[in-house]
A and B are shown apart, each in its own frame.
Chain A
Amino acid sequence: MRKFLLAAAAAFILPTLVSGAPAFAAEEVKPMHREWNFNGLLGKFDKQQLQRGFQVYKEVCASCHSLNFISFRNLESIGYSEDQVKVIAAEYQITDGPDENGDMFQRPGRPSDHIPHPFANDQLARASNGGALPPDLSLMTKAREDGPNYVYSLMLGYKDAPNGFELNPGMSYNEFFPGHQIAMPQQITDDRVTYADGTKASADQIAQDVVAFLHWAAEPKLEVRHATGIRVMLFAFLFTVLAYFYKRRLWARLEKH
């Protein structure tokens, strides 16, 4: 049994030793740390918070950032009803076509549409943002080291540049952005939005909400993953215990000889 424990320990420790050391630029500042309710064994999203986060995305971020992998129908899983989703979708104009005359036309959005891009193409997006491209946000919290904490910190990390720091025109100083010069101006301040559900919109609250929403967008299957995980683990545990006692009984026969 002792040897077995050793083997098991090695199997756990080895990967953490090697994988726990991702290479990253030295100048980066460790992001602020928050407890997120989507982390943990049974971590879940708070639907109310996701809806607030969606409101922030829609009213603030959407003018620059796309959300390519989300269609309106997906919003049902953050607690909107089918009818509410129809209403939300219809607020957008979607380019469709060509019609029978060969012309493209505009029509109100439907639940099956993807959330439309703010810019017709990347060149236009750059031209409107001082040459920098606002990245798609649908996978953002998985596309950065310690994603949720990083985006949260980035949102709140705007400061005056320290003395002697050379800030290029049109750029902002951000404590948490690699290199500290970011082409995205500060977006989140107290009361930047007025929440539909009446929650007080402090900058911190807004940042948390939009991060939760973006994490849902990046990992929409998180809740079912956790729930399935618990069941699978329980099963694996019982299976292992049974296998252990069966093995012990079987091998006891051998020791008698």
Chain B
Amino acid sequence: MSTEKSRLMKAWEWHEQRLPIGHFLDHSLGSKYPAPKNLNYWWNFGSLALFMLVTMIITGVFLAMNYTAHVTLAFSSVERIMRDVNNGWLIRYMHANGASFFFIVVYIHIFRGLYYGSYKPPREVLWWMGVVIYLLMMATAFMGYVLPWGQMSFWGATVITNLFSAIPAVGDAIVTLLWGGFSVDNPTLNRFFALHYLLPFVIVGVVFIHIWALHIPGSNNPLGIDAAPADKIPFFPYYVAKDVFGLGVFLMAYFAVVFWLPNAMGHPLNYVPANPMVTPPHIVPEWYYLPFYAILRAIPDKLLGVVAMFGSILILFVLPWLDRHPVRSATFRPIFKIFFWIFLANAVLLGYCGSQAAEGWPLIASRIGTFWYFFHFIVLLPLLSWIETPKPLPASISQPVLSPAE
């Protein structure tokens, strides 16, 4: 037995010398990767996002085995998955609701970063990669939603791709290129399927860079101060155990929806096959786009609306230079903290407005909300960087209670 084991060890070492995969994992997410000891549960959402990405890819590949990307067959091929493919209903509901849960997780992950100043030096590139992942997710989910070829698939695709026509000079050419013709039709569905299959793997690539960039400075923490080596603990087993517990809680929420409310987050009209002759009374995108949809419609000019919509996400790239306050964590920035919560409430309000018809008070509210969104980034944050006096910072993580001496 013992010789047996040492032989196995030898084989392992032989392999490690040639391809140090164990070494690599141990340094990435294992006992050789030190993390601040005070991370709270908001730090669970990174690993949850990774879990959802993997879940989406696995369920997606199985869907693709049974899905037909043709306008005459797409809708019924999805129904075939739901009815005749073994466990097809489970795979499809996990994928459709998985997209929503992926976004829930990523939104929490992003707001965690906004609250604790995780975008500030030295983590700007890490933050950029996060924004790139978010953009890719939006594109992927948008194209995925077109695939079942229901009414909302078709009309959502029509509305969103039409936005590009607002670009001066080349707009119409871009739209024709996206469509592969002169309307949303079979060529559109085919290219969207090809891209929907491709982009998640591009995301995987960017996630690698994201985690690589994370490993240079290491994790930020709720206090936002640099963690001394003495205040760090190995990722394995401590944070692995914490992440696994968090995963369990998350899974219960996810499964509750998959098994009991699988259609609550979708639009009923997507169970009506696409029909270019019948326009639905309200075309509503999936919930995760709603704040941006509200921004788009808040502005009466089409081009400016499109610019504002894309700008509202792209502005995140320059956030590290808009908020130059030296203190990271909102814990020590009482004024910033208030405006953080206002910003969050404003984003939820915009989301609500995006779900309503663009008229009456929701339209007015989405104008105010849009103004506030940009005001927060362009005026408030630079201003606060200058004028806000932070609370005194603790000397180290082990001394969260302030030593009044300093």
* A-to-B contact residues, CB < 8 Å: 3-4, 6-8, 10-12, 14-15, 17-19, 21-25, 41, 68-69, 74, 135, 138-139, 142-145, 147, 178, 218, 220-221, 225-226, 228-229, 232-233, 236-237, 239-240, 243-244, 246-247, 250-251, 254
Whether A236 touches B89, Cβ cut-off 8 Å, given contacts A11-B253, A254-B37, is no
Q: By the criterion CB–CB under 8 Å, are B348 and A7 in contact?
A: no
Whether A69 touches B79, Cβ cut-off 8 Å, given contacts A4-B41, A243-B241, A246-B241, is yes
Q: By the criterion CB–CB under 8 Å, are B104 and A14 in contact?
A: yes
Chain B residues in 8 Å Cβ range of A218? 271
Say whether chain A's binding surface is mostly helix, strand, loop, or mixed.
helix
Q: By the criterion CB–CB under 8 Å, are B255 and A23 in contact?
A: no
Of all chain A residues, the one with the shortest Cβ separation from B265 is A19
* Per-residue A-contact encoding for B62-88, CB less than 8 Å = 1, 0 else: 000000000000001001001100000
17 extra A-B contacts, CB within 8 A, seeds A14-B108, A22-B355, A143-B272: A4-B41, A10-B108, A11-B104, A11-B108, A17-B348, A18-B351, A21-B355, A69-B76, A69-B83, A138-B79, A143-B269, A229-B255, A229-B258, A233-B252, A240-B252, A243-B247, A251-B238
Q: Choose from A19, A143, A240 the contact partner of B248 (Cβ within 8 Å).
A: A240
Whether A229 touches B100, Cβ cut-off 8 Å, given contacts A11-B253, A139-B271, A250-B241, is no
Chain B residues in 8 Å Cβ range of A232? 255, 259
Q: Which of B234-252 contact A (CB under 8 A)?
A: 237-238, 241-242, 244-245, 247-252
Looking at B22-30, B171-179, B281-289, B327-335, the stretch in contact with chain A turns out to be B281-289
Q: By the criterion CB–CB under 8 Å, are B238 and A250 in contact?
A: yes
Q: Choose from B44, B100, B356 the contact partner of A23 (Cβ within 8 Å).
A: B356
| Cβ-based interface call for B216 (8 A) | no
Q: Choose from A3, A228, A243 the contact partner of B245 (Cβ within 8 Å).
A: A243
Chain A residues in 8 Å Cβ range of B268? 142-145, 147
Rank and list the top 3 A-B pairs by shortest CB-CB distance, nearest first: A229-B259, A240-B248, A143-B271
Of all chain A residues, the one with the shortest Cβ separation from B237 is A250
Say whether chain B's binding surface is mostly helix, strand, loop, or mixed.
helix
- Shortest beta-carbon distance, B89 to chain A, in Å? 4
CB < 8 Å A-B pair total: 138
Chain A residues in 8 Å Cβ range of B355? 18, 21-23
Q: Report how far A147 CA is from B89 CA in the complex, Å.
A: 19
Name which of B256, B263, B271 has the most chain A CB atoms within 10 A of its CB: B271
Q: By the criterion CB–CB under 8 Å, are B244 and A243 in contact?
A: yes
Whether A221 touches B352, Cβ cut-off 8 Å, given contacts A142-B271, A143-B271, A254-B233, is no
* Per-residue A-contact encoding for B17-42, CB less than 8 Å = 1, 0 else: 00000000000000000000100111
Interface residues on B, range: 35 or more
Q: Report how far A236 CA is from B244 CA in the complex, Å.
A: 11
Q: By the criterion CB–CB under 8 Å, are A236 and B252 in contact?
A: yes
| Cβ-based interface call for B90 (8 A) | yes
| Cβ-based interface call for B228 (8 A) | no
Q: Report how far A244 CA is from B241 CA in the complex, Å.
A: 8
Q: Which of B277-319 contact A (CB under 8 A)?
A: 281-282, 284, 287, 290
Chain B residues in 8 Å Cβ range of A144? 268
Q: Report how far A240 CA is from B247 CA in the complex, Å.
A: 8
Q: By the criterion CB–CB under 8 Å, are A221 and B79 in contact?
A: no
Q: Report how far A18 CA is from B354 CA in the complex, Å.
A: 10
Whether A21 touches B252, Cβ cut-off 8 Å, given contacts A3-B40, A10-B108, A143-B269, is no
Q: By the criterion CB–CB under 8 Å, are B352 and A18 in contact?
A: yes
Of all chain A residues, the one with the shortest Cβ separation from B105 is A11
Q: By the criterion CB–CB under 8 Å, are A15 and B104 in contact?
A: yes
- Shortest beta-carbon distance, A227 to chain B, in Å? 9
Q: Choose from A4, A7, A21, A69 the contact partner of B356 (Cβ within 8 Å).
A: A21
- Shortest beta-carbon distance, A134 to chain B, in Å? 14
Q: By the criterion CB–CB under 8 Å, are B269 and A226 in contact?
A: no
Q: By the criterion CB–CB under 8 Å, are A11 and B37 in contact?
A: no
Chain B residues in 8 Å Cβ range of A239? 248, 251
What would be 25 A-B contacts, judged by CB atoms less than 8 Å apart?
Answer: A7-B42, A8-B253, A15-B100, A15-B287, A17-B348, A18-B290, A18-B348, A24-B281, A25-B281, A142-B268, A143-B271, A143-B272, A144-B268, A218-B271, A225-B259, A226-B260, A229-B259, A233-B255, A233-B256, A237-B252, A240-B245, A240-B252, A246-B245, A251-B242, A254-B37
Q: Report how far A246 CA is from B248 CA in the complex, Å.
A: 13
Q: Report how far A204 CA is from B251 CA in the complex, Å.
A: 40
| Cβ-based interface call for B57 (8 A) | no
Q: By the criterion CB–CB under 8 Å, are B244 and A7 in contact?
A: no
Chain B residues in 8 Å Cβ range of A225? 89-90, 93, 259, 262
